[in-house]
Chains A and B, each alone.
Chain A
Amino acid sequence: MGSVIEVLILGFLISSLYALIALGFTMIFGVAGVLNLAHGAFAMVGAYLALGALEWGWSLPAAALFAVVGMAFLAPLVYVLLIRPVEDRPIIVFLGTLLFAVVLEQIVGLFFGFNSRIVPPLVEGILTVGEVRIPVNRLAASAIALSIIGGLWLFVNRTRVGKAILALSMERRGAALVGIPTQRIILGVWAISGALAAIAGLFVGSFFGISPLEERLLLTIAFTIVILGGLGSIPGSLGAALIIGFSETVVQQFAPEARGLASLLLLMLVLTFRPQGLLGRAAA
């Protein structure tokens, strides 16, 4: 019984983190139409910005804030300098963001080395529920992730700017025609996406540790979840994050040797039989 409760709790905690990783990725695709293969690298760079700030002697909250604000600046910058000039050529954008991600790996590795580093936990302590011991840090991370996702949902659905973002995701030219400043909104979405990536990177760094090459794993997770849920669909991504998070936890608990294989096979099945994802638009 204990293991079932453990699976439920750990699966939920990891799912909320996965959802956070995927959210920024799917937002960029939905609104700006760009599949940003540097998203995992953004998360990794975010974690390393915090590690760098810590090395300069900053306090942990200040370092975390620095990472989030830093990525909120860097992500739109990358868009303007690298992606916007070739935006109308999907293959170039696709390969360009991939190559940019591997360049970022090397740059970070140059300064920090390629070994895994651990971001100190934001909250110390361990909570015991029955027989299950949960680090408070993970609970806090899950709570923060969920409140960010909830806040973002309210922002998109309830505010004027949010509605402009939605309009843009439906039809860019139409949004421009009714007077929505599309470029400014797109830059804002890139900033949000960068900040979300940095937060996700911080949590991943404090749970499992992070290394420059780890970004590929983060990207694969985001990519998998987003495709499984349907490109550009935020509810789909949340559902897919739960599916991936729970299936990995279950496999980890009961058949650890097949770890990582289960979710990949699941994804291959979905891609084969429902190429548009679980909640994706049919015309994908």
Chain B
Amino acid sequence: MRVRRLSLRPRLGSALLLLFFALLAAMPYLLPRLFPEMETNPLLLRRWLDILVMANLLAVLAMSWDLLGGYTGQISFGHSFFFGLGAFTAAILSLTVDWSPWTVIGVGALAAAVGGVLIAAPALRLHGPYLSLMTLVAALAFDRFIRWLKPADRFDLGIPGAEGAILCSLKCFLTFDAVAKYYYALALLVGSFLVLWAIARSRIGLALEAIRDDEEAAQAAGINTAKFKTLAFSVSGFFAGLSGAFYVYHIGSASPSYVLNLERSVEAIATAVLGGMGTIVGPIFGAYFFKLFEELFRPLEALRYGVLFALALAVLLLVQGGLLSRALQRLRGRDLVAVPPSAPPPSPPPSEGLPQGTETQTGTEAVRR
């Protein structure tokens, strides 16, 4: 059980986060001031805003993974399934019905939430690796299914050479105004964050953490684990689908080789791990780090992914795996077993000073020892 302590740190963390969001909100005005080339070359500004839009979409995807993986301990290898379900639902709807973009994106997210419930049904009986394989198989099967179905043939809007892809750029766009689109994506990020954060901070979040730490104990304590796991799957699916549906309205097409690529799942996991698993807020910083690294080290080509994944691996082992704190304790010559719960737990650098993650970690560590 998490004990809420009276301290200044939670307020400091929220203040830092608010500052970060404010900074993002000022970006369209800040960027041309900071980089004078962007003022003369609006295409360059547009390109960078698009990169930040992609960072927001990755952040929403990674946060949705984090609610399921980091908070509930249900490791999904198939978040591309939810992302792709949202994306293809949005792409097909945009071509077939005359709804507003927001309705279509919302329905896409709902479809992914339903997908989450469908996966949760068998997943309730599955644990650990079986569950992860189920999510992976769902993603692979959906990919094959779309390639076999070739939905684009029905609309005559396929992309030559891209199996199963739908080109809907005439119907699925939000606005031509890059700045407006940037603000839509930012609103998506902040809104998704607030909802996921509220869920994680509520009694629901406590139940999810209890399931992660010891499912049988949670059940014995009277938590309806089936209900909460299904809820976690559907909420996670909803936000992953939201990210996917918005992606279609950002790019103008849905192609299995992007939206259903396992790379999306791996990226979501690496992003959540980089920012700090089980914190919800961490993945936001993880996503910005990931996308900016990807962009700034473009000359490194494929190597930058190697570096990013290696960094994620190092964070996973050193911080989440506790190797760093163990090594520090050994250096200080402290007892390895009796860690006072008030000891400052390790927290990944980007989310430092944010109380939610640190308190959670302390609680988990205390339970484990």
Q: Bound state CA distance, A275 and B138, in angstroms?
A: 15
- Flag whether B33 is at the interface (Cβ < 8 A): no
Q: Which of chain A's residues 251-278 have a Cβ closer than 8 Å to chain B?
A: 257-258, 260-261, 264-265, 267-268, 271-272, 275
Rounded to whole angstroms, the CA-CA distance of A261 and B126 in the bound complex is 22
A120 at the interface (CB under 8 A from B): no
A106 and B305 contacting across the interface, CB-CB below 8 Å: yes
Verify A95–B269 contact, CB threshold 8 A: yes
Contact: A89 with B312, CB < 8 Å? no
Q: Which of B139-147, B200-208, B219-227 contacts A (4 or more CB under 8 A)?
A: B139-147
Contact of B317 with A261 in the complex, beta carbons under 8 Å: no
Tell me which residues from 279 to 320 in chain B have a Cβ below 8 Å from any Cβ of chain A. Answer: 302-303, 305-306, 309-310, 312-313, 316-317, 320
Residues on B with C-beta less than 8 A from A284 are 127, 130
Bound CA span A231–B131, Å: 13
Q: Does B137 contact A (CB under 8 A)?
A: yes
- Cβ–Cβ < 8 Å partners of B121 in chain A: 272
Hey, what's the 0/1 contact readout for B262-278 against A, CB within 8 Å counting as 1?
Answer: 10001001100100000
- Tell me if B323 is interfacial: C-beta within 8 Å of chain A: yes
Are A89 and B148 touching (Cβ within 8 A)? no
Q: Which of B122, B270, B320 contacts A92 (CB 8 A)?
A: B320
Residue of B nearest to A272 (CB): B122
Q: Are B313 and A96 in contact (CB under 8 A)?
A: yes
Interface presence of B132 (CB below 8 A): yes
Contact yes or no, B137 A96, CB < 8 A: no
The reply to whether the CB of B42 lies closer than 8 angstroms to some CB of chain A is no
Q: Does A35 contact B (CB under 8 A)?
A: yes
Question: What are the residues of chain B within 8 A of A216 when measuring CB–CB?
Answer: 262
Q: Is the interface of A mostly helix, strand, loop or mixed?
A: helix
Are A92 and B317 in contact (CB-based, < 8 A)?
Answer: yes
A89 to B278, CA, bound (A): 15
Give Cα A261–Cα B266 distance, bound, in whole angstroms. Answer: 22
Q: Which residues of A contact B273 (CB under 8 A)?
A: 95, 99
Given A227-B133, A264-B141, A271 contacting B122 (CB threshold 8 A): yes
CB-based contact A85/B129 at 8 Å: no
Are B75 and A102 in touch, CB under 8 angstroms? no
Distance of A7 Cα from B132 Cα, bound (Å): 32
Chain A residues with Cβ below 8 Å from B77 are 98
**A99 in contact with B129 (CB, 8 Å):** no
Stretch at the interface among A11-19, A107-115, A153-161, A176-184: A107-115
- Residues in A whose Cβ lies below 8 Å from that of B126: 271, 275
Q: Are A90 and B128 in contact (CB under 8 A)?
A: yes
A223 touches B262 (CB 8 A): no
B306 / chain A contacts, CB cutoff of 8 Å: 103, 106-107, 109-110
Q: How far is the CB of B60 from chain A (nearest CB, A)?
A: 20
B309 touches A102 (CB 8 A): yes
B302 pairs with A109, CB closer than 8 A: yes
Residues of A close to B321: CB separation below 8 A: 85-86, 89, 92, 96
B323 contact from A85, A94, A220, A231, Cβ within 8 A = A85
Contacting residues, chain B, for A282 (C-beta < 8 A): none
Which chain A residues numbered 229 to 245 have a C-beta less than 8 Å away from chain B?
231
Which residues of A, 1-59, contact B by the 8 Å Cβ criterion? 35
B125 at the interface (CB under 8 A from A): yes
Give every chain A residue within 8 A of B73 (Cβ-Cβ): 91
Contact A264 B140 (CB under 8 A): yes
Whether A110 lies near B130 (C-beta < 8 A) is: no
Q: Tell yes or no: B134 within 8 A of A by CB.
A: yes
Chain B: interface residue total (CB-CB under 8 A): 41
Q: Are A261 and B323 in contact (CB under 8 A)?
A: no
CA gap between A257 and B163 in the complex, in Å:
12
Q: How far does the Cβ of B155 sit from chain A's closest Cβ, in whole Å?
A: 20
Contact between A271 and B134 (Cβ–Cβ < 8 Å)? yes
Give Cα distance in the complex from A257 to B147, angstroms: 9
For the complex formed, measure the closest distance between the CB of A270 and the CB atoms of chain B, giving whole angstroms. Answer: 10
For A262, give the chain B residue with the smallest CB separation: B144
B136 at the interface (CB under 8 A from A): yes
Considering the complex, give the chain A residue whose CB is closest to the CB of B124.
A275
Question: Of the candidates A35, A99, A257, A271, which one forms a contact with B313 in the assembled complex, judged by CB atoms under 8 Å apart?
Answer: A99
CB <8 Å contact, A275 and B130:
yes
B205 CB → nearest A CB, Å: 18
CA distance A272 to B138 in the complex (A): 12
Are A103 and B269 in contact, CB atoms less than 8 angstroms apart? no
- Are A96 and B317 in contact, CB atoms less than 8 angstroms apart? yes
Q: Say whether B125 contacts A275, CB under 8 Å.
A: yes
Residue from B136, B303, B317 having most chain A Cβ neighbours under 10 A: B317
Q: Is the CB of A98 within 8 A of B266?
A: yes
CB A151 to nearest CB in B, in angstroms, measures 28
In the complex, are the beta carbons of B302 and A106 less than 8 A apart?
yes
Do A268 and B137 touch across chains, with their CB atoms under 8 A apart? yes
Contact residue among B125, B133, B316 (Cβ-Cβ distance under 8 Å from A223):
B133
CB < 8 Å: which of B136, B137, B270 contacts A99? B270
Instruction: Write the chain B residue with the least CB distance to A35.
Output: B129
Interface presence of A207 (CB below 8 A): no
User: Nearest CB to that of A89 among chain B residues?
Assistant: B321
A216 to B265, CA, bound (A): 13
By the criterion CB–CB under 8 Å, are A110 and B303 in contact?
yes
- Tell me if A100 is interfacial: C-beta within 8 Å of chain B: yes
Contact between B148 and A257, CB atoms less than 8 A apart: yes
Q: A137 an interface residue at 8 Å Cβ cutoff? A: no
Residues of B whose CB lies within 8 Å of any CB of A are: 73, 75, 77, 121-122, 125-130, 132-134, 136-138, 140-141, 144-145, 148, 262, 266, 269-270, 273, 302-303, 305-306, 309-310, 312-313, 316-317, 320-323
- Sorted from nearest, which 8 A-B pairs have the closest CB atoms? A106-B306, A86-B321, A272-B122, A99-B313, A264-B141, A261-B144, A92-B321, A102-B309
